Amino acid sequence: MSEALHIGIAGLGTVGASVVRIVAEHEAVLTRQCGRRLEVSAVCARDRIRDRGVDLAGMTWFDDPVALAKSNAIDVFVELVGGEDGPAYESVKAALTAGRHVVTANKALLARHGVELARIAEDKGVLLNFEAAVAGGIPIIKTMRESLAGNTVSRVFGILNGTCNYILTRMEREQIPFEDVLADAQRLGYAEADPTFDIEGNDTAHKLSIMTAIAFGVQIAADDIYLEGISNITLADIRAAGELGYRIKLLGVAQRTDSGIEQRVHPTMVPKSSVIAQVHGVTNAVAIETDLLGELLLSGPGAGGKATASAVIGDIADIAKSRPGFQHGPVFGTPADQLAPCERAAMRAHEGGYFIRLTVHDRTGVFAAIARRMADNDISLESIVQHSDPDNTDPTAPKTVVLVTHETTEAAVRKAVDEITGDGHLIDRPQVIRIERAD
């Protein structure tokens, strides 16, 4: 049997401690599967005294993750520090430069520096594995990078943030306002004290940018992603979607178009009959559309200590099974030097159906004026319905107009809504939600 694979872990939070525990508790099966023993021989954390519920005796402690990354005592550097710059970036770069394999769960780091780090890894002939950075325990990176060889991907989309999916699920099932569900999510640990990164779509965007690079052979372009969060989704939207046969999900979508790669993160209405509409709670799901397989859907836990640690262990196991001198595949499926610039497709050219909710003054001609503005912009309507609050008997109370369009362009919808706003018919901010084909 080969010599043990020595692992150094920087960051002993929930995931790091889980990795240490799994390596120890599953030693026999991991040794049998990998053909060599896995040994966590060195760790780095800010607090040496804290009880993490795992045995760290006999492991070498480092106060500086960069020093750990450079240590000749390890074969694999596992970065679980977090953050796109600072110690995470410096230590990963140091490990790769020193010819050390790296495993990371850091989506922000890869979204910012992934191509640069991939070049170093490929130049040094080492592995940079990051399954845990996207969709937690779902093996989406391995699937896209290895199992779909020969397939041409046309679209990849999915639910990539468990916090948002949990909030939208409870809003629908229990008819609880966004703010109240968010407070519960924070209390239960599903949302951070500052939830902005999750609920405004940034977390999903980082993950989507990584998948886009693999799917289409382009450089990571996280800053080019069209971004909308879920903080403006109301119970009125949830109810209207349900009445129309849809469910609202925060989706990350990347697809190849005639004008470039379209990347977008936003609340989306998906048919209740679609598979992705059945993904509830903190669960994640990713769909990949290819020329050979058609649509492939993977679903599972997208976060949490065990799920993320499972993905980290899988990446370490791949390294353990590799052999010295073996030519490793490209980090993003295409050699880093051959990744094409990501030509951004303008979101305003996006084509699809739309849900539009307008709160309007109850006066003669408003309904007809709205329909006319839609027609002026060549927007065909599938339905237009006026709702009144049954509990409000005031005949002059505002009315809600809900429109569902046939396929049209983003530019046409935005122009029509701007014109309706300019006409002075609206009382409140208009709501526009895209309808996504998800069959």
One-letter amino acid for residue 5 of the chain? L
Give the largest Cα separation in the chain, rounded. 84
Average pLDDT over residues 9-22: 94
- Check: CATH 3.40.50.720 for 5-137+305-338? yes
Q: Of these residues, 70, 107, 207, 399, which one is catalytic?
A: 207
**∠311-211-286 over CA atoms, to 5°?**
70
- Rounded to two decimals, what is the model's pTM? 0.91
What pLDDT is stored for residue 96 in this prediction? 98
Cα–Cα distances in Å, from 197 out to 83, 122, 259, 398, 399? 12, 31, 29, 34, 34
The whole-number pLDDT of residue 419 equals 94
Strand 5-10 and strand 76-79: the pairing is: parallel
Q: Given this model, what pLDDT does residue 59 score?
A: 92
Q: Which residue has the higher pLDDT, 2 or 129?
A: 129
Reply yes or no on whether 399 is catalytic: no
Fold of 141-301: Dihydrodipicolinate Reductase; domain 2 (3.30.360)
| pLDDT (tens digit per residue) in 46-86 | 888 888 888 888 899 999 999 999 999 999 999 999 999 99
Residue 391 reports pLDDT greater than 70? no
As a whole number of angstroms, the distance between CA 206 and CA 188 comes to: 24
The string over 122-152, giving b where at least 16 C-beta atoms fall within 10 Å of a residue's C-beta and e elsewhere, is bebebbbbbbbbbbbbbbbbbbbbeebeebe
Strands (E), 162-242: 226-227
pLDDT greater at residue 322 or residue 140: 140
Beta bridge partners of residue 431, listed in sequence order: 357
CB of 233 within 8 A of CB of 168? yes
For CATH 3.40.50.720, the residue range(s) in the chain are 5-137+305-338
pLDDT single digits (tens) 329-355: 899 999 999 999 998 887 666 678 999
Rg, C-alpha atoms of the chain:
24
Residue 223 has pLDDT above 70, yes or no: yes
Average pLDDT, the chain: 91
Is domain 347-435 annotated with CATH 3.40.50.300?
no
Q: What share of the chain is helix, strand, coil (3-state, %, to 5)?
A: 40, 25, 35
Please give the pLDDT value at position 104. Answer: 97
- The region of weakest confidence among 64-73, 142-151, 173-182, 317-326 is 317-326
Q: Average pLDDT, stretch 196-214?
A: 96
Position 395 confidence tier, pLDDT thresholds 50, 70, 90: low
**What is the reported pLDDT for 90?**
98
When pLDDT is averaged across residues 403-409 and rounded to a whole number, the result is 91
Residue ranges, comma separated, of all CATH 3.30.360.10 domains in the chain are 141-301
